[in-house]
Every structure is written in structure tokens, then in C-alpha cells.
Chains A and B, each alone.
Chain A
Amino acid sequence: MEMPPVDDFALAKKDALVTRLGEVLPGDAVIHTVEELKAYECDALTAYRCPPLAAVLPRTTEEVSAVLKVCHEMEVPVVPRGSGTSLAGGALPTADSVILGTSRLTDVLEVDYADRFIRVQSGRTNLSVTGEVEHEGWFYAPDPSSQLACAIAGNIAMNSGGAHCLKYGVTTNNLLGVRMVLMDGTIVDLGGAHMDAGGLDLLGVVCGSEGMLGVVTEATLRILPKPEGARPVLMGFDSNEVAGACVADIIKAGVLPVAIEFMDRPIIRITEDFAGAGYPDCEALLIVEVEGSEAEIEEQLSTIEEIARRHDPVELRRSTSEDESQRIWLGRKSAFGATGRVADYMCLDGTIPVSELPRVLRGISDLSEKYGLRVGNVFHAGDGNMHPLIMFDANKPGDLETCEEMGAEILKLCVEVGGCLTGEHGVGVEKRDLMSHQFDAADMEMQMRVKDVFDPSWLLNPAKVFPLDVTADRRAG
């Protein structure tokens, strides 16, 4: 994977840059030694690393603004970073850039239950937002699997989803407003404690723009009253096709579960070895979860189980206790970790129309044979967001490259059947060069024009999302 060439002139600016940053920030907020910068050389896409010129950890919107003004003046690229959990390399630095971390922006600014929102600084972790309101019976809905660590800033940048977004939507559907700083240091407020934009929905385009339009420092988030209860049911099937048909029938029946998760045989075996959740040994497993009171759960699960029976399940097991629910979820939630114990793996994130599920799973299986790499599938079936895990050996020369090539083929297949490259992880650097498979030049041109408005000099996270050859003229200024 290629990153833009770095000119020596940029590197030569380092001393002057560190001095200028030290003038606008407290001493402990500027990181510039080689040893300390190691912590910022990659995110969760660990195959790619590059130390930045410096990293800064501001505590206020005003400090963020001051940093950006300095970098703008000195024409130094800035790469914003939440908690560094991006699987797509969204926070991967370039050698000529400054990392702007949000890790010290952690204050809760306002909680209002009558108006149903919380306003926080953007470096706060996803789970700690819920932690702030759950004693009153509320929660923040988007639940990416990294929610213990990931920052709201990164959630907004990537428009993060999670297992429960079938019912509650993704970040953009739960974000009411932001305070953000443009590359030139201008502080802008979009949205707020009210619903919907008065003019253009700029908040809508900022969310998911991968930190390329501005640095979000504060967020107003919608909070929801917690449901009275939740319960999963486990279903095993003889084939992926049948499981896929069952998902479609459940959705058509008018019950909308809060989550429908799918695992195929390789993943079932790997997770069962690790977590011992009591999964049946079958081709495909569904976990369907519903919410409500005891009576409501009963009503919904009865309908769902009746549908499942029509598809001859090899297993149909409703959780009967909180303990059993946790065990059923334990397997699903440990799928990535368990896979990591048996192999190195690359996690893909394409979305497909649910109706294409059998075709895509067959295609993935064919590719697995062609490239000689194992694949396990675990994903959010209700919304078609797949997570094929391609297993490889990082110590075997050429294996990573083979894996990347195969990953690209799978994502192209997702696009071909009417889906997309990424459902919740973002493009980052990982899928940047595949963008032209999903978008024509005119499609990308209009997206890039939005960046032209927010960041005319293309200094904010400039080497992400769009293929480098497409952005070359713009990045050159």
C-alpha cells in the first residue's frame, strides 16, 4: 500500500513546528521524541506503520483551533485520531503529518433527560457515554464492538454502527450536533439539541467523512430509555441458503428484532473451541434478539420461532436466563478474538443486499479455494453487513499480499451484487484504491468538492478515502 512521497523540506520543518506548537499548547500536550511517537505510528490496521512528525493532545476546542492554525500556516498535514481503533487505517499518519489526538477531550458537558440528549467532548469513549446515563435507565445506542475503547470522535468520523443498529440506526441517526474546528482554525457549530438542519444538512456529510472535513471536539448525542429486557434465540441450519431465507422471512413477517447475527461453520467451530457457548455443529447459525417486557418478548419470539420451524432448523433454542443469554452472545462477541488465536486474519466489512447472501457466500467460498486461504463469515444479517475473516500467516512471505488480493476480490463481489465496500469500518487507506470500483469519476468529484469547501488546501487527513492518483492535483495545492 502506497502513501504519498514525503519531501525532505517537510521533515526539515519539524523543529520549527514543534516550537510553534509548544507556544500554543501546554508542554505535556506536544509529543515529538522518536520513542514517544511510536504509540501513534499505527491504528488497529497494524500491518501499516509510519511515525508522524509530532503528536498533540489538546484539552479544549480552543487548543484544537490553535493547533490547526499553526499547521495551516506552516502547511503541515494533520491526521485526527480518536482512540486509534480504526480497522481501515483511518488514523494512519504520514511522515510529514501531525497527529491530533482527542484522548484528553473527555468531559461530559450536559445531560438532559427531558430533552433526551447528552453533550460530551469527543474523546470520550463510546461505552462511557452510556455509563454516564445508565443509572437513570438510559443508553447511547450505537455499539461498535470496540465500544470499550473507541472514541465518539472516531465514531463520528467513521459513522460507526454495531450489532443493534437494525433497530436503532448507526451514528448518523443518533447524532444531533457537533462543535468542530476547520483546518484554518475556524470553530463551527452544526445542529444542536434540536432535530434536523435549518439549511443544508452539513452535519450529515460531516458524519462519516473520516476526519477530512474538520476536527470534531464536542458532540450532542441522542440518548434513549433502556428497554425493559432483551432475549436472544439461537437457530442452527443445514445450509447458508436456508439461514438466509429464514432471515428474509423474519423481516417480512413484520417483527423487527433488535439484532440478527449470522455465523458460518468455520466461525462456529472456532468460537465454540474458544468460548464454549454451546453452539450446535452446523452450517449456519443465527442469533436473533428481541426487546421488551416478558410478555412482549414472548409474543415476538413465538412469531420468530414459528418462522424458523418452517425452515427445519437443526437447533432452536431460546435463552431462558440472563446467564444463558450471555453465553449465547459470548460466542458471537468473541468471534474475532477466537479467530485471532488460530491465525492472523483480515476483517472485511462489505455490505450486500440480504437477498444476495447465498450467492456471495458461494463466491467467497470459491475465492477461498482459489487463493488457498481459509475464510470464516460472521456478520449482521439483518442489514447485510458482512464480516468475512480471511485467515493467513503473517510470518509467511507473500501471505499478507495474497490475503489483500483476495479481500479486494470479495469486496468487488459485494459491489457487483449491488452492495458496497464498507458498511461500518470506513474506507481509510485500506479500501482507498477500490473506490473506483464503486464510484465513477463524477461521483468522486462531487465528494471531493465538499472537501474543497471545508479544507481548500487539502491538509486534513489528505491521503485517505480517495485513490491517491485521483487526489494528486488537489493535494499538491
Chain B
Amino acid sequence: MLTPRSEDELAEIVRGANGPLSIRGGATRHLPGDGEPLTTRGLTGITLYEPGALTLVARAGTPVAEVEAALAGEGQRLPFEPMDHRPLLGTDGEPTIGGAVAMNVSGPRRVQVGACRDALIGVRFVTGEGAVVKNGGRVMKNVTGYDLVKLQAGARGTLGILTEVAFKVLPAAQSQATLRLDGLDADAAMAAMAAALGSPFEVSGAAWTEAGTFLRVEGLEGSVAYRTGKLLEVLAPWGLAETVDDPWADLRDARAVAGPGDVWRVHCRPSQAPALIAAVGAEAAQMDWGGGLVWLRVAAGTDLRAALPAFDGHASRVTGAADTAPQSGSVAALEAGIRARFDPRGLFSPMTETA
């Protein structure tokens, strides 16, 4: 396994590569593609952390756990609540911060504060030609030049190997409370979540599984108590919600859909979620982001896209070989053009083409 210890060494390897490189951080979120294995796990360390500026910069191979621990030490956190894929995929290894960025991994709080890409304010990466490139920086407001930071988030390493990532972070909440409504089907749950998210009470999580419909508020203690009371009123048409223990780590990691078969993620217009769930007849289903994200477990080999009615969004298989949403003609052409210019020799593409 190639394990470069510096950005320069990594660039040297890329310049000298004669064929595809199979890039991974901890390989906990995907099956690495074909090619010579290369990990960013040798590029570690938090290079800058200024709690007073809400800014953290880390090398790409730094474990997510190390970043989260450093932030927790100052009462702060990553806003986007990245999931741990290991329970769902049965992988082991250490999830890296660069991997979370490459997959744009965002958990339940995405519905309130945005995705990983929204918290990402700077990147360094090595292109397919072995050039070291930076974009964005360490300040949270920056419109200098084109935003390649967003382009790199979720590009699955196909536009370059990330070496360093910078985030806007947030204060951790002093307290949280979660309300659960029982016995709602997907339609009713979607409506209840929309009512809560449409209220001024700053819901930071809205999810549904067989175990109930969950709504979270976070903040200062008095504020959480106040908003919990207000949400009870908002949710009254759907029953009496009760306060429950913090379920968000399990919801974040999509534990409700873990099991044999294929697991898919569907990003959709929230109000379309119940119809998508109904159309598929899934073995297990979970809604997050107020319906904007649907997790579905179906029999292995099911062509989920063929089973879904037309909707606004996209579906990707998470388990097994990577299978990302196909794009329409003109968008596909733009994507292909960008990949060709960031990686002219096609060294980085195999990850999305695993068989």
C-alpha cells in the first residue's frame, strides 16, 4: 500500500504513476476501486485550530475521531454530523476527515446547518498531473476566484487526491432534547416533520423509522425547554409527542436499514419521500432531513432506479460496489469535461467504476 507521508511525496507518486491508483482514506465508506492501492492515512494532523475563529484545518488522513475530540475539548463540533459507515457496511478501519469530504458525508443536522460541503472552506489537493493546488482558505467568507472547494466535496476523489481540508465549525450545543411521535406512517410523518421544520423553533433533526418520528432541538438549556414545549403544540395534530433519550447516533448511521441486501440513499424533494417509499416495497426504510433523504434496503441486485417513479433528486447504492446517480446528457458532458481536465490520464476514476 502506497502511504505517502507528505504532500510532496504524494505529488511525486502521482507524477510517476503508470496506471490507475486506488485511492482511499480508511476505506470505511466504499469499496476501493482497481489500481495500485494508495492511502492518505500517512497525511495526518490538525494543522490549525482557532476556536475563537470557528476554524479548523487538518490533513486529509486525520481520523474523524481525532478531529471530533479536538473540537469537543473546546466545546465545539463539526456542524454536519458525519455518519460512521462501519456499522452499515460492515467495514473496519479508521474513517478519515478527507474521506468524509470526498463523499460529502452529512448527517441529520444537514437539514438545519447544511452539508459537509457547506462547512468546508478550503482544500489542498494533488491533480492527476501531480500538481499541488489550493482553493478557498481558512476564512469562512471568501469569494476569491472559482469555488473548487464545493467541487471537490463529494467528487469521490476523482478530481484530485485531497491532502488538506479546512472547516467552519460551530459551538456544540449546551443541551438537546428529542421528541418522538409514535405510530405514524410515512405520509403522516412527513407532514409532521414539515410542520416542525416550518416553525421558528429551529429543529436540528427530523427523522422517521419504524421506531417512530423523531425531532430534535439543541441550544442553551432554557431555549431547549422553551422550544420543546412549543413543538409539542405544533405536533399536537399528530398525537402527543414524548421526550426520549438521544437517538441521533443510530439515526445518523442509518442503523434502521442495516441488514442483508442492498442499501440505497435517495435524495428527493421531501414531500415526494412517502410515495417513493410506497413504490418500492422496501425491506427497511428510514427518512432523514425531514424526508429529503430516504434510506431504503431492498433485495440484493434490485434495480432501484427502475422501481422508483419519476422524482426530483437522485438515488445511489451505498452497499457493495459504488453506484452513483447517472447524469443527463449536457450535465454528463460537463462532468466528463471537468474530470478530463483535472485527471487527464484517468488515474483517479476507477473508484466509481468498481465491479
**What is A's interface to B at a CB cutoff of 8 Å?**
112-116, 137, 158-159, 161, 165, 169-170, 172-173, 182, 186-190, 192-205, 207-209, 225-228, 247-249, 251-256, 292-293, 295-296, 299-300, 303, 351-355, 380, 383-385, 418-427, 431, 435, 438-440, 442-447, 449-454, 465
Contacts and interface: CB of A to CB of B under 8 A. Distances in A.
Given A196-B115, A296-B222, A354-B52, A137 B146 contact: no
B342 A196 contact: no
A442 B128 CA distance: 13
B314 A354 contact: no
A427 B267 CA distance: 34
B214 interface: no
Most buried by B among A193, A256, A440: A193
A161 B127 CA distance: 30
The 5 closest A-B pairs by CB, nearest first: A204-B150, A198-B314, A248-B52, A198-B325, A453-B337
B142 A420 contact: yes
Interface string B322-352: 0011011011101101110110000000000
Contact of B53 (A182, A194, A197, A251): A251
Given A188-B331, A442-B131, A251 B52 contact: yes
Nearest to A167: B113
12 contacts: A159-B143, A161-B143, A198-B325, A200-B151, A201-B154, A252-B52, A254-B174, A423-B142, A442-B133, A445-B131, A446-B135, A449-B341
Contact of A453 (B143, B197, B334): B334
Interface stretch (B17-25, B37-45, B268-276): B268-276
B148 A300 contact: no
A224 B141 CA distance: 21
Contacts of A192: 269, 312-313
B110 interface: yes
A256 B223 CA distance: 13
A152 to B, nearest CB: 16
Interface of B: 50-55, 74-75, 104, 106, 110, 114-115, 117-118, 127, 131-135, 137-151, 153-155, 159, 170-174, 191, 194, 197-200, 219-220, 222-223, 226-227, 267-271, 289, 292-293, 312-316, 324-325, 327-328, 330-332, 334-335, 337-339, 341-342
A209 B146 contact: yes
A419 B137 contact: yes
A452 B341 contact: yes
B74 to A, nearest CB: 7
A193 B222 contact: no
A115 B222 contact: no
Contact of A423 (B143, B172, B341): B143
Contacts of B74: 252
Given A300-B220, A447-B148, A450-B148, A197 B154 contact: yes
B147 A199 contact: no
A449 B220 contact: no
A380 B53 CA distance: 13
Contacts of A443: 133-135, 145
A188 B194 contact: no
